Structure formats: structure tokens, C-alpha cells
């Protein structure tokens, strides 16, 4: 009971905060922080793809930046080269990321543990160098800029993401929808299958689960989350650049996820928020801010292997104080930790 | 005591292998093995360590592919099929080293085992809403006596309870052939008695093949015994015939410290 009500309060506070950001933040701090929070939401979706693979299926991918890049370039090339409007470009970004995830996943998910990690890096490096060298198409490290097509027009009025408030709510809506869908998947039979594969792939195959196909489905789903975040980031920055396909970008998402809490729905959001806020506050005073990132990552791995959200869940679930142990009917199918 | 309560020996053998061979480098683990297991009976496979018993199970369940030979399950050639395909045909097994999903709850271990019989896992329907599977899980929890531990992560259970959970996972998957690899290994006498009771109960409806080192267990539940040595059949027959077989005594039963249970087995 205690845990449930605490979480409801927390969800209401968090929800209210997120909805009030465009008005509260400029009034209290600076409107610049609205765009920081927008960025946090986008990157947390990126980290969620690492979380889906690592936290729920047991695959540690160090190559998610590849699909992020495909999401970005799908949007940028769609608008700049093909002259697509907003929604088709968005769709093209997501589709290219998923298609690339399917192609590389067919090979990658045959492997486990560190072999899988290595092949994901290799794939992303290959395409990173291709993207950097093919300057006419991708603009290389400089990237390509484009101007934003309108989101929609209604009654003669044109709405576009150039309005920071609309942009913020658009990103919030898309990220919330993705996390909601991920939540649904995790608590579905398919999600239980993912967990079984993560826990013991040998046993999973012996009870009749097709481990290869389950991993491939998860990999393409993760590619979809990554593609959405890459597309959002392209809209947010109005450009796409090969530098976002570098494996360091993938590595950051792994750190954010592990520190925030792998295998929990909101872990990546917490980790991403923490590190981006640190970066924004510290980097203007001190150029070695990544030392803090490293230190926090080490501390988390040693003292909070389940991340910040894992610590929280452990604290909330700790054996109750004075409550007499009553025979409560146990829920048979436990919900995944939020 | 005989476990052939079903008594319906099917014309088609439940499991048949033809000249099955598996080598690991220079070692021949399973050597030209042709074995026929009739339905409706409990088969035990015994033999000294390294006789190829577990390799035989690995070949049947698709974890290994044979170098030569064929495997037929109820007349159907399953040689070289992948583990999940063989599992869906109805062959389930337990592993020598107890193997469950340690971070999933006891109930979820059973839940996913039941769901894995389906070809597709639904991606968006809440798992908790599947009443039919939930009822099956509750029923199985009662059967194996783990209802009180339903919400516990399986990794926190005692060894004996994990073994019972494995048997529960075998029950809920409704196999048509169940391979048990040393089910009572590492169990206390009380736990062994509990497991043997369950296995005997299972044998009424399921074809069983059991690898076991505990001769009390073997002679207590098996209708037929096959003795393997160096990957080949040394002897096969009923428990009494096996206990009296000279070659078996020499190769396996006849070690000095084992003399006692040969007596026991004969008396059983």
C-alpha cells in the first residue's frame, strides 16, 4: 500500500512538473532550460533503447548511435533531398532506423554477451566512417541543415516546431507514447519472453521459445525507439550530422541507463536527466566534467548495481516496519518494476 | 513396483535412434547408438560418468547435432532440429544442473513455460489478464507445493525447491515425452522422496526417460533400464535382469562401495 501511494504521488508530481515546464522554468530559471529538458526527453528515449535490450533481453549494445544516425538522416535527407513534409520525413527516419536494425540484427543477435557488444560497435563504426566520408550526401562531421516544415496547419494557421512550447509538448507527447508502448510490451506475454531469454537463454529454448527471433524482435523494437529519438533530435536541432553516429554516443546511453537503472522503465530518464544537468551546469565552469560522469558511473556499478531507480525500488520495498504479516493474496504475474 | 498404469504400449516407439554418433574431438561420446524406447513405460538410462547419457539427451533435445545417425520422435525425424522446435513437438527436459529463470518469480517461471507452448507471444495484451494461464499456474503451484513462494524470485529458493519448480515447469508444459537428467541429484533424502513421488505420478500420463545415479530411485520407478558405457549400450532389460547382469556389475554396479545397493536393488 505504502509503495503504491508513494508512487502515485511521485507520478503526479512528475507529470505536473513536465506539463508545467514551459511556464514554470522560464519564470524560475531561464527559458534556455526548457530546451535542455526537451533534449533530456529525447536522449532518455535513446537510452531507453539500450535499456530495452540490456535491461529486458540481456543484450548489451554499444552501437545504438547507428540507428540514431539513421533516424536523423532519414528526417534530414527526407526534407532536404526529397522535399518531404514533416510527417513523411518523421516516418522515413523511423523506418530507416528499423530497417537498419533489422539488417544488422539478423547477424548480431546470433551472438551473445561480449561478442554481441563487439559486433554492434563494428556495425556502427562501419557506417560512421561511410557517413563521414560520403560528404556530398551526409555533410560528414559538419552535417546537413534543413529548414523545418510545419507540423500541421489548422484553420489557415500554421503550427511549427519553431515555437519552443509546441516543440516541447510535441517531444513530451512522442516520448511518453513510446515509453507507454514499451511499458505495454514489457508487461505482455512477449515481454515475459524477453525476460526469460535475459535470465537463461538455454532454458528459454528448452521450453520452446525461439531465442533468436525474440532477440531480433527486441533489437528491431530498440531500433524503432532509437529511430524516433534520432528523428526528434533532427527536428530539434534542424540538422543531422555523422558525429552523432560515433560509438561514444552509444557508450553514453549505456552509462546513463546503468546509472539510472537498467531493467526499470524510468531508469534511463533519471540517468539521462542527471548527466545532462551535470553537463549543463558544470561544463561552463570546468572542462573536465566527464570526470564526474566517470566517477558516478563507477560509484553506481559498485554501490547501486541496479541503478538509482533500483535503489529507490529496494528502499520502497524494504520489509515493512510495524505491519503485521497478513496473508495477502499474492499477485501471480508481477508487474515489471516501473 | 511397476509404473505402467497406462499399459497402452503404442505400436510406434516414442523415441528411436539409428546409429547415432557424436564425437568431441577424439572422444566418441555417443557411439553408433541404436535405441528404441516404447511408449507407456518409464525408462532409466544408467551408466558410469562419461558414458554419454547427457550427450544423448542433448542430441535428442537439439542442443547438439549428431555427427551421424538419425533420431525419430513418434516416427517423426527430428535429427538436427533446433531446440525450441523439438520442445514444441512435446519433448521437454530438465537439466543436470538445475536451470530456471532466477530473476523471475516462481509464478512467472511457470507462466512463461506455459506460454512458450504457443507459437506467438502477444506483444501488447497485459500478461496479467490471461486468466486461463493464471489458473494453470495456481494449480501447478499447489501440485508442487510452492504456492507460498509464488512471488519469490526463483533464484532465492532452496535447492530442493528449485528442483520442484523444474518439475512444475515440466508439468505445466504438458510434455508428451519428458527427459529427466538426474532429478534427485544433490537432494536430501526427504526431498528425494518428494521428487520420486511426483515423478511416479507424472509417469502415469507422460512417457519418461530418466538419467539417474541413485539406484534406489532407478530401481524404484523404472520399468526398463538401459546401461550405457562409452557411448554404447552395454545391457538393457528389466530391473531384475539388469541387477543380475555380470557385465553391468563389472562396468558399473560392481565397484566395492556399491556392493550394498546391488543387494538392495535385488531386494527392492
Q: Which of B83, B104, B118 sits opposite A205 (nearest CB)?
A: B83
Query: From the candidates B123, B146, B166, B181, which should be mutated to test the interface with A, based on the most A CB atoms within 10 A?
Result: B123
C-alpha dihedral over B67, B70, B72, B75, to 10 degrees? 160
Nearest chain A residue (CA) to B136 = A332
Q: Which residues contact A295 (CB under 8 A, 6 or more apart)?
A: none
Of the candidates A202, A208, A333, the beta carbon closest to that of B108 is on A333
Angle A86-108/A65-80 helices, nearest 10 degrees? 150
How many other CB atoms sit within 10 Å of the CB of residue A78? 25
For chain A, how long is the longest CA-to-CA vector? 71
Per-residue pLDDT of chain A (338 residues; tens, 9 = 90+): 567 788 888 888 988 999 888 888 888 888 889 999 999 999 999 999 999 999 999 999 999 999 999 999 999 999 998 989 999 999 999 999 999 999 999 999 998 888 999 999 999 999 999 998 888 888 888 889 888 888 887 877 888 888 889 999 999 999 999 999 999 999 999 999 999 999 999 999 999 999 999 999 999 999 999 999 999 999 999 999 999 999 889 999 999 999 999 999 999 999 999 999 988 888 888 877 778 888 888 998 888 888 999 888 888 776 544 444 444 444 445 455 45
Distance CA A11, CA A9 (A): 5
The structure's pTM equals 0.87
SS3 content of chain B, % helix, strand, coil (to 5): 40, 25, 35
For chain B, give every residue range classified as CATH 3.40.50.300.
Answer: 1-90+177-268
Give, in degrees to the nearest 5, the angle at Cα A329 between A327 and A333: 140
Cβ atoms B148, B92 nearer than 8 A: no
ipTM of model = 0.84
Can you list the positions of beta strands (E) in B89-247? Answer: 91-93, 177-181, 207-211, 224-229, 232-237
C-alpha B54/C-alpha A189 separation (Å) is 32
- State how far Cα A4 lies from the chain centre: 25
pLDDT score of B262 more than 60: no
Q: Judge: A200–B128 Cβ closer than 8 Å, yes or no.
A: no
Please give the full DSSP string across A9-55, using - where no structure is assigned: HHHHHHHHHHHHHHHHHHHHS-THHHHHHHHHHHHHHHHHHHHIIII
What is the signed CA dihedral for A62, A65, A68, A70, rounded to 10 degrees?
Answer: -110
Q: Are strands B91-93 and B177-181 parallel, antiparallel or unpaired?
A: parallel
Give contacts of B105 with chain A, Cβ < 8 Å: 334
Chain A and chain B share a number of CB contacts under 8 A equal to 124
pLDDT, tens only, A244-261? 999 889 999 999 999 999
Measured between CA atoms, the residue of chain A closest to residue B113 is A207
Residues of chain A contacting B87 with CB distance shorter than 8 Å: 205-208
Beta bridge partners of B228: B233
Distances from the Cα of B55 to the Cαs of A50, B18, B23, B25, B52, in angstroms? 37, 15, 10, 14, 5
Superfamily of B1-90+177-268 according to CATH? P-loop containing nucleotide triphosphate hydrolases (3.40.50.300)
Contacts by A145-148 with C-beta closer than 8 Å and gap 24+? A145/A80, A145/A238, A145/A239, A146/A76, A146/A79, A146/A80, A146/A238, A146/A239, A147/A79, A147/A238, A148/A79, A148/A86, A148/A235, A148/A238
CA–CA dist B77, B113 (Å, integer): 25
Residue appearing with cell numbers 533519471:
A270
**pLDDT at residue B9, as a whole number:** 45
Amino acid at each position: 500500500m505504502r509503495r503504491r501511494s508513494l508512487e502515485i504521488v511521485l507520478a503526479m508530481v512528475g507529470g505536473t512538473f513536465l506539463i508545467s515546464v514551459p511556464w514554470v522554468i522560464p519564470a524560475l530559471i531561464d527559458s534556455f532550460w526548457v530546451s535542455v529538458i526537451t533534449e533530456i526527453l529525447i536522449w532518455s528515449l535513446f537510452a531507453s533503447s539500450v535499456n530495452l535490450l540490456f535491461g529486458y533481453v540481456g543484450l548489451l549494445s554499444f552501437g545504438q548511435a547507428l540507428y540514431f544516425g539513421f533516424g536523423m538522416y532519414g528526417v534530414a535527407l527526407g526534407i532536404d533531398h526529397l522535399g518531404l513534409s514533416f510527417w513523411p520525413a518523421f516516418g522515413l527516419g523511423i523506418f530507416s532506423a528499423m530497417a537498419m536494425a533489422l539488417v544488422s540484427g539478423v547477424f548480431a543477435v546470433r551472438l551473445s554477451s561480449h561478442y554481441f557488444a563487439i559486433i554492434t560497435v563494428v556495425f556502427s563504426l562501419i557506417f560512421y566512417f561511410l557517413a563521414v566520408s560520403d560528404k556530398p550526401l551526409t555533410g560528414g562531421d559538419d552535417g546537413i541543415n534543413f529548414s523545418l516544415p510545419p507540423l500541421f496547419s489548422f484553420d489557415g494557421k500554421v503550427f511549427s516546431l519553431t515555437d519552443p512550447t509546441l516543440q516541447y509538448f510535441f517531444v513530451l507527447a512522442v516520448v511518453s507514447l513510446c515509453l507507454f508502448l514499451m511499458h505495454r510490451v514489457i508487461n505482455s506475454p512477449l515481454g515475459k519472453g524477453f525476460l526469460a531469454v535475459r535470465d537463461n537463454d538455454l532454458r528459454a529454448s528448452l521450453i520452446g521459445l525461439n531465442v533468436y527471433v525474440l532477440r531480433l524482435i527486441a533489437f528491431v523494437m530498440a531500433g524503432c525507439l532509437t529511430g524516433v529519438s534520432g528523428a526528434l533530435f533532427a527536428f530539434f536541432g534542424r540538422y543531422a550530422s555523422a558525429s552523432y553516429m560515433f560509438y561514444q554516443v552509444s557508450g553514453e546511453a549505456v552509462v546513463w541507463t546503468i546509472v539510472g537503472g537498467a531493467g526499470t522503465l524510468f531508469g534511463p530518464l533519471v540517468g539521462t536527466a542527471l548527466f545532462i544537468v551535470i553537463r549543463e551546469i558544470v561544463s561552463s565552469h570546468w572542462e573536465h566534467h566527464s570526470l564526474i560522469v566517470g566517477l558516478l558511473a563507477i560509484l553506481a556499478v559498485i554501490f547501486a548495481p541496479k541503478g538509482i531507480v533500483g535503489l529507490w525500488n529496494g528502499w520502497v520495498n524494504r520489509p515493512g516496519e510495524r505491519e503485521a504479516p497478513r496473508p495477502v493474496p499474492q499477485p501471480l504475474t508481477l508487474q515489471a518494476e516501473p | 513396483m511397476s509404473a505402467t498404469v497406462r499399459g497402452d504400449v503404442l505400436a510406434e516407439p516414442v523415441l528411436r535412434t539409428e546409429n547415432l554418433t557424436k564425437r568431441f574431438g577424439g572422444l566418441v561420446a555417443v557411439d553408433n547408438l541404436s535405441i528404441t524406447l516404447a511408449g507407456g513405460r518409464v525408462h532409466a538410462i544408467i551408466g558410469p560418468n562419461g558414458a554419454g547419457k547427457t550427450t544423448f539427451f542433448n542430441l535428442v533435445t537439439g542442443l547438439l547435432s549428431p555427427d551421424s545417425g538419425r533420431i525419430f520422435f513418434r516416427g517423426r525425424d527430428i535429427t538436427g532440429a533446433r531446440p525450441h522446435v523439438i520442445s514444441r513437438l512435446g519433448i521437454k527436459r530438465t537439466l543436470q544442473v538445475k536451470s530456471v529463470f532466477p530473476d523471475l518469480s516462481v509464478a512467472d517461471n511457470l507462466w512463461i513455460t506455459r506460454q512458450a507452448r504457443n507459437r506467438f507471444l502477444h506483444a501488447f495484451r497485459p500478461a496479467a489478464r490471461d486468466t486461463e494461464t493464471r489458473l494453470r499456474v495456481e494449480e501447478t503451484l499447489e501440485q508442487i507445493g510452492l504456492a507460498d513462494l509464488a512471488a519469490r524470485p526463483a533464484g532465492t529458493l532452496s535447492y530442493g525447491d528449485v528442483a520442484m519448480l523444474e518439475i512444475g515447469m515440466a508439468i505445466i508444459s504438458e510434455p508428451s515425452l519428458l527427459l529427466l537428467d538426474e532429478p534427485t541429484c544433490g537432494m536430501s533424502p526427504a526431498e528425494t522422496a518428494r521428487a520420486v513421488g511426483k515423478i511416479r505420478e507424472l509417469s502415469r500420463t507422460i512417457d519418461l526417460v530418466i538419467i539417474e545415479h541413485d539406484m534406489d530411485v532407478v530401481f524404484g520407478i523404472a520399468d526398463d533400464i538401459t546401461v550405457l558405457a562409452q557411448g554404447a549400450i552395454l545391457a538393457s532389460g528389466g530391473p531384475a535382469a539388469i541387477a543380475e547382469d555380470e557385465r553391468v556389475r563389472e562396468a558399473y554396479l560392481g565397484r566395492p562401495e556399491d556392493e550394498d545397493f546391488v543387494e538392495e536393488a535385488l531386494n527392492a
